[in-house]
Structure formats: structure tokens, C-alpha cells
Amino acid sequence: MPNQEADTAIFFSDRVSLFMSGKIILVLIMLIKEIIKDLCLLPMDEGSCQRYTLRWYFNSQVQACRPFIYSGCKGNNNRFLHQEECEEACLRKNKGSGWNT
């Protein structure tokens, strides 16, 4: 005969684990959004080398991604290979979030 109390305990335990996993995932998503927000607020920084390449940065003053010439080293993380990548990280996901400067 199945043990209904044990089945209920396992079900409850699984539900609590799923709930806790969901909470952890939400916290991680919030942290990632904060990191992206901070990254997008950094000023453009060309770096200090001489291996020049075209990159994109998010200009928080005009709320748009702009091209710039990156020197190839140093700089900061407000630097994207493609305009679409910049917009995906800094514009589309944060539109209406109230963090505009």
C-alpha cells in the first residue's frame, strides 16, 4: 500500500525546491539587469593601444548606441562588436525602466 504521507512530503519538497529555484533565478536576473545597466552607463573609452577597430558604445545622454574607434586594449565594458548587440543590451531590455540619465 503506498504511503500517502511520504508521497505528499516528496510533492511538497519538490514544490518548495521549484519555488526556491524560481526565486534564485529571479534574483540572478535582477543582478544581471543591474550589471547591464551599470555597463551601459559607463562613458565611451577608446583604450590606450594602436590596433584600431570599429566598435559600438551606448551613449546614455542621447539613449542611443554610437560607433567609436576602439584602440584594441583597456577601455571599459561599454563596448560592443555590433550596433544590434549594443541595442539589445542597453536599449531594448532597459526601455522604460527609469534608469535613464
- Residue 25 reports pLDDT greater than 80: no
Q: 91 or 76, which is more confident?
A: 76
- Residue 91 reports pLDDT greater than 70: yes
Return mean pLDDT, the chain: 78
- Residue 101 reports pLDDT greater than 50: no
Residue boundaries of the structural domains of the chain: 4-92
Q: Which CATH number fits domain 4-92: 3.30.70.100, 3.10.20.600, 3.30.1330.50, 4.10.410.10?
A: 4.10.410.10
Q: What is the pLDDT of residue 6?
A: 55
CA angle 13, 19, 24 (to 5 degrees): 125
- Integer Cα distance of 21 and 90 in angstroms: 27
The answer to whether the pTM exceeds 0.75 is no
Q: What is the pLDDT of residue 76?
A: 94
